[in-house]
Amino acid sequence: MTYTPPRTLAAFFVYLVIRYLNQTDVPKIRGLPEIPGIPLFGNLIQLGTCHHVAAQKLADKYGPVFQARLGSKRVVYVNSFEAVKSIWITQQSALISCLTLHIFYKVINNDGKSFSSSESFPVGASPWDESCTQRKKAIASAITFNLILILDTTSSEPRVHSYMPFVDLEVMESLKELHDSSIGDLDIKPYIQPMALNMSPTTCYGYRISRGVNDALLREITDVEKKLTMFRGTSSNWQDFIPLLHLGSKKNIEANACKLRRQKYIGFLHDILKEKVAVDTDKPCVAGSSIGMPMVSGGLDTLPGNIIMAIGYLSSDHGAEIQKRAYEEIIKVYADGDAWKKCLEGEKVAYITALTKETLRFWSTIPISLPRVNIALIQYQGAMIPPGTAFLHPPHYAYGAGSRMCAGVQLANRELYVFLVRIIVAFEVVPAQNARDRPVLDALKCNADPSSLTMMPKPFKVGSWIIESEMRTNHLV
């Protein structure tokens, strides 16, 4: 009988433990550079709190596409436009599912149903199956249809069906509140969030929340949705990648509390819709709680960031030049002084369309994409990436890329276009008198919480809203 020394047994045991802690859901992918990591954590510590910044720096050393380990998850980072095009666009039929992370899926969106179906999950972050396919088509069809210009046979004037009147009202209300508050330097965030937030329950449930800055429902939704975005960031939720951290996690308790609060106001909105349907007083909307929830969130945590930072930039020296040129281009197109109304009918000012696109490009409200998962083999420069692998690309494109890009892209673009036309026509945005109150205009440094899923602009103020002409704002009084 061979004697095995205790030290040898201990070393073998340590080896087995390390190997167990170091295993990932997907084996190492041959042909892709791998970032060296440590057992259990993988590259989580190395990537820090700003995954998008760290990934771009790693790309300089390891190339545009590399694999990393986030705890037990193997993730492929894609860091160049050409690589994103190859994987997200050319092979989009393979990359159409989403990674089911612990906090967001098994705590926040766990309604007690089986995880074999995505029915209980939000559409934008749902694993791919027949339920997700049908719900995504329903959203895209409803939004696209309701943005089409329809010629009213009883009038020579074209009218916009359904959603554009909502955009008209919300932009009008935001600018009116800004107009009424234009004394001294101003924090614009409380005036912008209600505009974007109201578009979501209005389009989903046909219900408009009170525009008061201190409205209880508005404050509740704003607070909850802000907290929910914190639970979706890849850099701040290690329990999503390290199963051992599920045990006794304080975040599980916090996430469950947010879940219950959200269920309450989603249920409230849904009940109101059902009551209106019963008496035939409902407005055109995309109904259904599983469709509605992500749209409430999407309206609050993405578009406001774009608008807030666009206003911040307009208050800069270069922003003053942009305002001057933009106003001239608007007047050329809407020569009859009817820009306020006509901007609802389509994007006819090329300069404003370009400004809209640049706002979306420069101020990326989601610094890193939601984790995507391939359902079929993906090839990249000889590497064969097996199904079930997670993918991330920093920085995130405004609406994502490929077949899972945001279904609300047309509505969001029109809302941003209308807002920019109207604010430039009616006001001149100037810098705050105190330099310390002016915005941070670096696209990365402007984010108050880099670990959050979405960009949260650092607080800033703009100066008095200098009204160039009473005639241009008399409809706001």
Residue boundaries of the structural domains of the chain:
140-370+386-476
196 in Cβ contact with 303 (< 8 Å): yes
Question: Is residue 292 very low, low, confident or very high in pLDDT (cuts 50, 70, 90)?
Answer: very low
DSSP state of 448: S
The pLDDT, as a whole number, for residue 351 is 98
Rounded Cα distance, 282 and 336, in Å: 36
Percent of the chain with pLDDT over 70: 80
The pLDDT, as a whole number, for residue 457 is 92
The architecture CATH gives domain 140-370+386-476: Orthogonal Bundle (1.10)
Non-local CB neighbours of 210 within 8 Å, separated by 6+ positions: 217, 218
Rounded Cα distance, 438 and 436, in Å: 6
Could you give the 3-state DSSP secondary structure of residue 231? Answer: coil
Rounded Cα distance, 36 and 226, in Å: 34
User: Containing H/E element for 70?
Assistant: strand 65-70
Are β-strands 97-98 and 149-151 bridged in parallel, bridged antiparallel, or unpaired?
Answer: unpaired
Rounded Cα distance, 443 and 362, in Å: 6
- The torsion defined by the Cα of 201, 203, 209 and 213, in degrees rounded to 10, comes to 90
CA distances from 322 to 185, 279, 358 (A): 21, 49, 12
Which candidate, 53, 74, 97, places its Cα nearest to that of 383?
74
How much is the mean pLDDT over the chain?
A: 81
Percent of the chain with pLDDT over 90: 35
The pLDDT, as a whole number, for residue 153 is 41
Beta strands in 265-400 (DSSP E): 372-373, 378-380, 383-385, 390-392
3-state helix, strand and coil shares in percent for the chain, rounded to the nearest 5: 50, 10, 40
pLDDT in tens, 426-436: 989 999 999 99
The pLDDT, as a whole number, for residue 200 is 76
Region 41-50: what's the mean pLDDT? 91
Whether residue 164 has pLDDT greater than 90: no
pLDDT in tens, 174-222: 888 888 876 778 999 888 888 877 777 777 777 787 766 557 888 888 8
The pLDDT, as a whole number, for residue 66 is 97
